[in-house]
């Protein structure tokens, strides 16, 4: 199924697994996917969340299974044993999602992903982070699995830091496409005394950095997955620019893991923190002068 493997970091490209849940065409970053397996019998857990189908034993690991069909309020004509499981790793957590079928893998640029309008997302915060145009005028919706997980397990949600000082007079640049998450990051650092400039993609953050004196910026904090320009590409541009290269950059993302940290290292990131560890992020930023 996979024709090309994306090996180089900082080129503003990604691969997505395209799959179906009912009649909806959905997508997820390949960086979050461990493997795709045939549907397996699940063991139900008493009093579990309504969107948790149960657990499976996969290679001696107990993996919770999210019923994505129920979570997205879809209908699927296929029986359970005809469906597939996609095993996913996000926020240092392993889980599986049950899907109707897998269409394939597509390589694309972050510039190809359109940000959903507020009309689509609405007050209920529909779990969609992007929209990709596919063949035959079809659209692929990129799901926000961090929100889906947080709705099931509140401990996986990002919460405001408890820090109340330590960054007085420091100016930070934060790039994060989630309006909910950037609000929490912004409030956490302003409460600690910092001034924060917010951007929803790497390109806008980079343009700002190129316009202000380098010594004004204490640190850049960036997500990895963002439309237009991702965080790895932003980091590579900062570290390859003689005027910006000394600015510390911290990657703060749900896809940072031991297996993927080499991507951040290859583009020169000074530190990498996995969401939702906001307190660890604040501590690292406070001490960033010793890391850079």
Q: Do 116 and 199 have their domain in common?
A: no
Confidence (pLDDT) at 2: 40
- C-alpha 275/C-alpha 251 separation (Å) is 10
Q: Do 197 and 251 have their domain in common?
A: yes
What is the domain-level CATH number for residue 62? 2.40.50.180
- What is the percent of the chain with per-residue pLDDT over 90, rounded to a whole number? 57
Residue 182 above 90 pLDDT? no
Strand-pair partners of 235:
none
Where does a domain end: 154, 183, 204? 154
> pLDDT tens digits, residue range 46-103?
988 988 999 999 999 999 999 888 888 787 777 778 889 999 998 888 999 999 999 9
1 is a domain residue = no
Residue 230 above 90 pLDDT? yes
Confidence (pLDDT) at 82: 85
Question: What is the signed CA dihedral for 158, 162, 168, 173, rounded to 10 degrees?
Answer: 0
pTM of the model: 0.85
- C-alpha 138/C-alpha 269 separation (Å) is 37
> pLDDT tens digits, residue range 244-261?
999 999 999 988 888 778
Confidence (pLDDT) at 34: 93
Confidence (pLDDT) at 199: 95
Who wins on pLDDT, 257 or 40? 40
Domain that holds residue 243: 158-290
Confidence (pLDDT) at 119: 58
Where does a domain end: 154, 184, 216? 154
pLDDT band at 229 (very low <50, low <70, confident <90, very high): very high
pLDDT band at 242 (very low <50, low <70, confident <90, very high): very high
> pLDDT tens digits, residue range 118-176?
655 544 456 788 899 887 788 999 988 888 888 888 777 777 787 778 899 999 999 99
3-state SS, residue 203: helix
- C-alpha 196/C-alpha 2 separation (Å) is 41
Confidence (pLDDT) at 180: 76
E-assigned strands of the chain? 13-21, 24-29, 33-38, 52-58, 61-66, 84-90, 93-99, 101-109, 128-133, 139-143, 171-175, 195-199, 219-222, 249-253, 271-274
Where does a domain end: 94, 122, 154? 154
Who wins on pLDDT, 72 or 234? 234
136 is a domain residue = yes
Cα dist from 266 to 55, 181, 240, 279, 287, whole Å:
36, 26, 12, 25, 22
Confidence (pLDDT) at 125: 55
Q: Do 124 and 172 have their domain in common?
A: no
Confidence (pLDDT) at 116: 78
Sign of CA dihedral 66, 61, 150, 104: negative
Tell me the average pLDDT of the chain. 87
195-199, strands of its sheet edge to edge: 195-199, 171-175, 219-222, 249-253, 271-274
Who wins on pLDDT, 121 or 27? 27
Domain count, the chain: 2
6 is a domain residue = no
3-state SS, residue 64: strand
What is the domain-level CATH number for residue 274? 3.40.50.2300
Q: Do 51 and 148 have their domain in common?
A: yes
Q: Do 260 and 189 have their domain in common?
A: yes
């Amino acid at each position: 199924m996979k024709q090309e493997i994306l090996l180089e970091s900082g080129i503003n490209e990604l691969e997505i697994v395209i799959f179906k849940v009912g009649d909806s065409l959905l997508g997820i970053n390949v960086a979050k996917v461990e493997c795709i397996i045939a549907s397996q019998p699940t063991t139900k857990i008493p009093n579990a969340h309504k969107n948790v189908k149960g657990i499976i034993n996969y290679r001696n690991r107990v993996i919770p299974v999210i019923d994505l069909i129920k979570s997205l309020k879809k209908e699927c004509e296929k029986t359970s044993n005809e469906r597939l499981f996609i095993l996913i790793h996000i926020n240092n957590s392993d889980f599986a999602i049950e899907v109707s079928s897998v269409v394939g893998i597509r390589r694309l640029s972050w510039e190809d992903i359109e940000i959903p309008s507020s009309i689509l997302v609405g007050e209920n915060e529909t779990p969609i982070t992007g929209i990709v145009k596919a063949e035959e005028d079809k659209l692929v919706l990129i799901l926000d699995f961090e929100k889906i997980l947080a709705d099931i397990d509140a401990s996986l949600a990002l919460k405001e830091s408890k820090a109340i000082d330590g960054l007085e007079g420091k100016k930070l640049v934060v790039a994060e496409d989630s309006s909910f998450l950037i609000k929490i990051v912004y409030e956490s650092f302003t409460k600690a005394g910092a001034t924060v400039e917010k951007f929803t993609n790497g390109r806008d953050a980079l343009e700002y950095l190129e316009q202000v004196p380098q010594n004004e910026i204490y640190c850049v904090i960036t997500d990895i997955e963002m439309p237009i320009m991702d965080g790895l590409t932003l980091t590579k541009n900062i570290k390859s620019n003689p005027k910006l290269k000394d600015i510390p950059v911290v990657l703060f993302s749900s896809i940072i893991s031991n297996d993927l940290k080499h991507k951040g290292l290859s583009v020169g990131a000074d530190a990498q923190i996995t969401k939702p560890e906001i307190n660890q992020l604040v501590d690292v930023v406070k001490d960033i002068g010793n890391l850079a």
